[in-house]
């Protein structure tokens, strides 16, 4: 028993030494941040108040800590198949509430569209996706999240900048209690990173401060200004659902291949529900999107699609927001149903990406996300090896890659 007690005491002592060392290292890191904060106008008093007693939150995802297994971000956009992420029941519920809010904020939304060119239904849909129209309580303290991600995260420089701007927000009078965030440090009803707050936040209700936490007009106008600032084109669609020809080459579904919408239509891509497309829209350039390869719906995606993608870099996110905005405006469900295909595990997609990269077919990052470029590279592999061309990652194709 004495030996067991000694061992436990030794473990506790070693843990305490390790924790003290980690705390000292974090404090040194904070000391190195102070000069940059000072350049942004943060006073010493604000800095010390914000960082007093601050410690890293090692339970967060997307950290790079030696000796610890990686904890991937909880991003359903990248791990759920389309049919699960884009559930009709969820979209229907959010659309019904969105219609009520569209009526409640009719005048505000008209002003937003007039000033920024972004339809009110689009910013309502972003609000719905980000925080369920404000009903979702953000779980984290943004200062701690951003400091942790800047200290031991995978994107240290990116989050260091966000941490500095979060300190600047405190300096300008934003209460710490308001600064609740996601695991990635995004704030408010429509989820703004601190640097974007300074670029795009709008005092749209005229109360003297851009309040993206409590003021719906401010939050929605800020989201619209962000979309406008990133290239939103007034009066153009976000996407058009189409029925592709039976012999569609799914490797062509990449942003770099772009033609006028009218040209796609002339080559057999029929708009869903027999929709008539005006001459103005036909002239807009768009690329092809096949979120499930040759399964499920297909879309022609002009610039506004990619502007929404700047808000969250996921095709499923854009489809959710864009489609929900259509439903709020009275549109119909997707005409082509989603398949029941399963999503490969992140580690399997990473293995596929590494193999495709080794073969010279894939030149993007290995991140375990089966996005446009991964699907197209997979299609190129299927072509090269005489496999069924569907551009959808499966265990069978991965096994083929590992054998050859």
Pick the closest to residue 195 from 203, 206, 184 (CA basis).
184
Supply the pLDDT for residue 135.
Answer: 95
Write down the pLDDT at residue 313: 86
What's CA 108's distance to the chain center, in Å? 26
- The mean of the pLDDT values for the chain is 92
- Is 398 part of a structural domain of the chain? yes
The enclosing domain of 393 has a CATH number of 1.10.101.10
Question: By three-state DSSP, how is residue 41 classified?
Answer: coil
Q: Which value, to the nearest 10 degrees, does the dihedral of the CA atoms of residues 387, 267, 306, 352 take?
A: 0
- Residue 364 lies inside a defined structural domain of this protein: yes
d(CA 381, CA 396): 13
Q: Are 198 and 209 in contact (CB under 8 A)?
A: no
Average pLDDT over residues 222-232: 98
Average pLDDT score over residue span 391-397: 94
Answer whether residue 22 shows pLDDT above 80. Answer: no
Domain assignment of residue 391, yes or no: yes
* Mean pLDDT along residues 386-404: 94
Residue 229 scores a pLDDT above 60: yes
pLDDT given for residue 105 in this prediction: 98
DSSP label at residue 274: G
For position 3, what pLDDT does the model report? 55
CA angle 184, 392, 251 (to 5 degrees): 100
- Find where tokens 């308001």 sit: 178
Query: Residue 74 pLDDT more than 90?
Result: no
**d(C-alpha 113, C-alpha 325), whole Å:** 14
pLDDT in tens, 361-384: 999 989 888 899 999 999 999 999
The predicted structure's pLDDT at residue 340: 84
- Alpha carbon of 16 to those of 13, 23, 60, 76, 157: distances in Å? 5, 10, 21, 37, 29
Is the pLDDT at 8 greater than 70? The verdict is no
Q: Is residue 268's pLDDT more than 80?
A: yes
pLDDT at 23: 81
How many residues comprise the chain? Answer: 404
Please indicate, yes or no, if residue 146 is contained in any of the structural domains: no
Has residue 356 been placed in a domain?
yes
236 or 81: which leads in pLDDT: 236
**Domain presence at residue 162:** no
pLDDT of 136 above 70: yes
254 Cβ neighbours under 8 A, 6+ residues apart: 287, 288, 372, 373, 376
**Mean pLDDT, residues 123-136 taken together:** 97
Q: What is the mean pLDDT of residues 159-166?
A: 98
Give a yes or no: residue 129 inside a domain: no
Q: Do the domain assignments include residue 183?
A: no
- Distances in Å between the alpha carbon of 139 and those of 145, 178, 184, 193? 10, 12, 11, 15
pLDDT value of position 18: 44
Residue 267 has pLDDT above 70, yes or no: yes
- Whether the predicted pLDDT of 12 surpasses 50: no
Task: Report the alpha-carbon distance of residue 227 to residue 112 in Å, rounded.
Answer: 12
Range of the domain at 371: 346-403
The upper half-sphere exposure of residue 348, i.e. CA atoms within 13 Å in the direction of its Cβ, equals 15
pLDDT of residue 278: 97
> pLDDT-based confidence at 272, cuts 50/70/90?
very high
Spatial CB neighbours of 101, under 8 Å, sequence gap ≥ 6? 124, 133
**Into how many domains does the chain fold?**
1
* Confidence band for 64, pLDDT divided at 50, 70 and 90: confident
């Amino acid at each position: 028993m004495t030996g067991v007690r000694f061992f436990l005491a030794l473990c506790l002592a070693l843990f305490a030494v390790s924790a003290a060392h980690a705390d000292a290292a974090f404090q040194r890191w904070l000391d190195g941040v102070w000069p940059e904060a000072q350049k942004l106008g943060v006073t010493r008093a604000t800095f010390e108040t914000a960082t007093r007693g601050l410690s890293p939150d090692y339970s967060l995802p997307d950290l790079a800590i030696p000796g610890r297994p990686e904890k991937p971000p909880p991003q359903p956009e990248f791990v759920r198949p389309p049919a699960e992420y884009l559930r009709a029941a969820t979209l229907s519920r959010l659309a019904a509430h969105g219609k009520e809010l569209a009526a409640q904020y009719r005048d505000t939304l008209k002003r937003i569209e007039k000033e920024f060119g972004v339809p009110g239904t689009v910013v309502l849909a972003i609000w719905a996706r980000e925080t369920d129209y404000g009903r979702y309580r953000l779980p984290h303290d943004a200062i701690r999240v951003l400091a942790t991600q800047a200290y031991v995260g995978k994107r240290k420089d990116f989050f260091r900048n966000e941490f500095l701007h979060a300190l600047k927000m405190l300096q300008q009078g934003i209460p710490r209690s308001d600064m609740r965030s996601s695991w990635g440090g995004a704030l408010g009803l429509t989820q703004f990173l601190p640097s974007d707050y300074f670029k795009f936040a709008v005092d749209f209700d005229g109360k003297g401060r851009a309040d993206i936490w409590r003021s719906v007009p401010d939050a929605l106008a800020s989201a619209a200004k962000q979309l406008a600032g990133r290239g939103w084109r007034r009066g153009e669609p976000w996407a058009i659902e189409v029925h592709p020809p039976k012999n569609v080459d799914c490797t062509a579904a990449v942003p770099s291949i772009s033609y006028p919408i009218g040209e796609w239509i002339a080559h057999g891509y029929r708009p869903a529900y027999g929709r008539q497309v005006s001459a103005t829209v036909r002239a807009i350039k768009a690329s092809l999107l096949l979120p499930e390869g040759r399964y499920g719906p297909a879309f022609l995606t002009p610039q506004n699609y990619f502007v929404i993608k700047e808000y969250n870099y996921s095709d499923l996110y854009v489809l959710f927001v864009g489609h929900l905005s259509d439903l709020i405006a009275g549109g119909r469900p997707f005409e082509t149903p989603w398949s029941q295909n399963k999503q490969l595990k992140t580690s399997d997609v990473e293995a596929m990406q590494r193999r495709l990269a080794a073969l010279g077919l894939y030149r993007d990052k290995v991140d375990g996300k089966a996005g446009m470029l991964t699907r197209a590279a997979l299609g190129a592999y299927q072509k090269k090896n005489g496999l069924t061309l569907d551009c959808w990652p499966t265990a069978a194709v991965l096994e083929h890659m590992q054998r050859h």
